Amino acid sequence: MQKFTKQKYFYYIAFMLMASTFLRVVFNNLPPIIRSHHLWTFIWGLSLVVFHPKIFLNKAIVYILTYGLLLLIATNTIWSNMDELNSSKLFMEFYEITIGVSVITYFIQRKDYINLAKITKWSIVFLFITALMTIVSSA
């Protein structure tokens, strides 16, 4: 029997995170707690904080967190009259960029290129399936 390692744990969480993001056709039909992209994001972020906090010192992550701080300052000062919809879209974009870069950064820092390639392959497959289902449902 194979041993469940941290490497496999992070691969599984990243897989579920990408699947819940890119394969909406399947995840919309699952029970609410499992299909939530935010649940998998929370588990991913918490796992990084607990097992690999050095990820947050990476140059790319620091730049993104600085961007988030600038967004927060700008929305409270010079963009204070921005409507709620645009403001929420800005922070959702920041959230998505942060998660995507943290996944890539994790696999690169751990030099786990095989699992990064697998995650990338599955993400492309999920995007292709979703694109096909969109074309079929709109026809």
Q: pTM of the prediction?
A: 0.87
Per-residue pLDDT at 138 exceeds 90: no
Cβ atoms of 46 and 17 within 8 Å: the answer is no
Identify whether 83 is part of a domain.
yes
> 86 versus 2: which is more confidently predicted?
86
Mean pLDDT of 6-21: 92
* pLDDT reported for residue 41: 93
Identify whether 74 is part of a domain.
yes
> 32 versus 15: which is more confidently predicted?
15
* pLDDT reported for residue 1: 61
Q: At what angle do helices 37-51 and 84-109 cross, to 10 degrees?
A: 50
Q: At what angle do helices 113-138 and 6-22 cross, to 10 degrees?
A: 20
On average, the pLDDT of the chain sits at 91
Per-residue pLDDT at 121 exceeds 90: yes
Counting beta carbons within 10 angstroms of the beta carbon of residue 136, is it exposed (0 to 12), middle (13 to 18) or buried (19 or more)? exposed
- 100 lies in which domain range? 6-138
Q: What are 69-107's pLDDT values in tens digits?
A: 999 999 999 988 888 898 899 999 999 999 999 999 999
**Number of domains the chain contains:** 1
Identify whether 84 is part of a domain.
yes
Identify whether 1 is part of a domain.
no
Q: What are 38-79's pLDDT values in tens digits?
A: 899 999 999 999 999 999 999 999 999 999 999 999 999 998
